[in-house]
A and B are shown apart, each in its own frame.
Chain A
Amino acid sequence: MGRATEILRARFADCFLDAHEQHGDETVVLRPEGIATVAAFLRSDAELQFNVLMDVTAVDYPGRTPRFEVVYHFYSLPRRARLRVKLPVPEEQPEVDSLTPLWKSANWYEREVWDMFGIRFRGHPNLKRILMYEGFEGHPLRKDYPIKKRQPLIGPMN
């Protein structure tokens, strides 16, 4: 197990759920409530030094509960190490704390997750759609959104 997993398991035992290292990618699964503190720790810790939030995305698993999984990819530039953090988020209350106070990159990534999946981020300054047009209904990357659905914006011919 990687260094980050050990440290997180020891220090944040209350929100630590699972960890694996498939294909060499260090991954931890945490409770959604703990993300803000864990992320702040990852950034400020002198040993881990995860100073770049590379990506925020989500995956939809409609068959299981909790339905969504918000996936964060962290990168440590000095150590050249990566960490993936996954948060299982239930469908009834798809809300996670926003990381915008810590990293400016989180702003647009979280807007995209809201647009595509419908997961809200508490404390986000400007949570509105980024890729779809204003007035679009639905969250396209959810598995129950049909890919060939036609939009009313243009008219019946389309």
Chain B
Amino acid sequence: MADDMKQEPAVERRDNPVAAAAEDDDARRMVINIGPSHPAMHGIIRIMTELEGETVRKAEIEIGYLHRAFEKSAEHVGWNGVMPYTDRLNYVSPLINNFGYCMAVEKLMGIRPPERAEYIRTLMAELSRVGDHLTCVGASAMELNAFTAFLYFMAARELIYELVEDVTGARITIAYGRVGGVRADLPEGFIPKALGFFKTIRKNIAEVHGLLTRNRIFYDRMRDTGVICAADALDYGIMGPFLRSTGVAHDLRKAEPYHMYSRVEFTVPTGTRGDNYDRYLVRMEEMEQSLRICEQCFKQMEPGAHQADIPPEYIDANQMVDAAKHAQTECLIDREARLSPNMEGQEHRHKRQVIADDKTAAMPSLGKTYGNIESLMNHFMLVMNCHGIRPPAGEAYAAVEGANGELGFYVVSDGTGYPYRVRVHPPCFPILASLEKVLVGGMVADIIATFGSVNMIGGELDR
């Protein structure tokens, strides 16, 4: 009797397999693994999604595939040696990382860079930001199959790279910031060239606006997908364009101005609905504002009246030694010994550092190092292993507005020439943490659109 009763339900289910399957949750769900090596050329990340049909029911994100031990390496290479490592954090906008780190160390040491260096930092950071947004919007458009928009933005990015190369010498990994200033001044003819390029970039952005902004397919895929509300965004600690698209108008450049942002006018574009389309619009508008900031910096910087422009007075090396031996040192002030024809060109602007006049942090110029014994000793102490820059023991936190949000550097010094601890607060880390919630309820195809607008940069996320 008991056996018969146990048999009956099984017979019923066999008669109606669809109904049986519909009751069995596990059978309907499928686990799909996206990544780590996937075509959305943003880096390596693994999203394990549990799908019910096309809808995402659960998403688990695994990161760490590009962990390159930045924080540990920083403890072994010395304060200035960290600079190339910071380039490779957010590698699409490396200048912002450089300057963020320099700001943290300058805070520890109490150094203020000169005004010209601050202007140069502002405009180079904004150029970097334009490059980052071009890459982000271009790549995310490409993933939605708008390949033309990608190619147009890559062409615009080449112009940015050319400008960056003129100033720093390299396209992407530039190591341009120095504690106390920047490594080199702007070269001759940079400003008219940049203004010409900005015209082309603006035309390019307008073209892509025409291609994408009112495009039916793009709009349908981006509108109301990847939605996050402002309260959730703040709960996750998200800043940057992601937060601004939800309606919170918070930008570190306006909230806690650093560099020369208090002297330039720009607006902070804010979205309303916190979806992918708003983030796209926020980024496009931010590019325009960044170009505007650069143009204002060009106007406000002193065009040429800077001591780097005036070549030093050279005297013959033998004359200098003779005068010094006779204790006639008044004629030697502010003059350098010309030792070799190899030193020609050192008086050009773009060969000279624009840096604070602080012996503990700034390397003396080439001419002074070879011509002047104090500068030679200074140079030696700054370059020697285990010496170099030695901030006093303490800790400081400095934050800049990165392209993704607040890029913070927490540096701890123990007074030696090696950092004790360098911690990077990566802006896209909390954004990816929130993705586990944002993706749920959307479709598989929305994952691609959302992921593109997140602008995940592996170097920054995994450090």
Q: In the complex, which residues of chain A have a beta carbon less than 8 angstroms from the beta carbon of B420?
A: 59
Q: In the complex, which residues of chain A have a beta carbon less than 8 angstroms from the beta carbon of B107?
A: 23-24
B256, A80: Cβ atoms under 8 Å?
Answer: yes
Is B429 interfacial (CB 8 A cutoff)? yes
Of the candidates A57, A105, A145, the one whose C-beta lies within 8 Å of that of B236 is A105
**Bound state CA distance, A59 and B35, in angstroms?**
33
Per-position binary interface string of chain B over residues 403-437, scored 1 when its CB falls under 8 Å from any chain A CB and 0 otherwise: 00010101010000000110101000110111001
B425, A131: Cβ atoms under 8 Å?
Answer: no
- Shortest CB–CB separation between residue B258 and chain A, in angstroms? 13
Interface residues on B, range: 35 or more
Grouping DSSP codes into helix (H, G, I), strand (E, B) and loop, the A interface class, with mixed when no group exceeds half, is mixed
Grouping DSSP codes into helix (H, G, I), strand (E, B) and loop, the B interface class, with mixed when no group exceeds half, is mixed
**Bound state CA distance, A82 and B410, in angstroms?**
13
Q: In the complex, which residues of chain A have a beta carbon less than 8 angstroms from the beta carbon of B67?
A: 131-132
Interface-side segment among A10-18, A46-54, A88-96 = A46-54
Residue in B closest to A105 when the chains form the complex, CB atoms:
B237
Of the candidates B255, B396, B429, the one whose C-beta lies within 8 Å of that of A25 is B396
Of the candidates B63, B235, B394, B425, the one whose C-beta lies within 8 Å of that of A130 is B63
Is A73 interfacial (CB 8 A cutoff)? yes
- Shortest CB–CB separation between residue B36 and chain A, in angstroms? 11
A25, B397: Cβ atoms under 8 Å?
Answer: yes
Residue in A closest to B432 when the chains form the complex, CB atoms:
A108
Is B462 interfacial (CB 8 A cutoff)? yes
Residue in A closest to B72 when the chains form the complex, CB atoms:
A147
**Bound state CA distance, A60 and B432, in angstroms?**
27
**Bound state CA distance, A129 and B64, in angstroms?**
9
**Bound state CA distance, A132 and B67, in angstroms?**
7
- Given A59-B420, A140-B72, verify A51-B64 contact (CB < 8 Å): no
Q: Which residues of A contact B (CB under 8 A)?
A: 22-25, 27, 51-55, 57, 59-60, 71, 73, 77, 80, 82, 84, 103-105, 107-109, 116, 129-133, 140-141, 145, 147
5 contacts between A and B (CB under 8 A): A25-B396, A71-B410, A107-B433, A108-B429, A147-B75
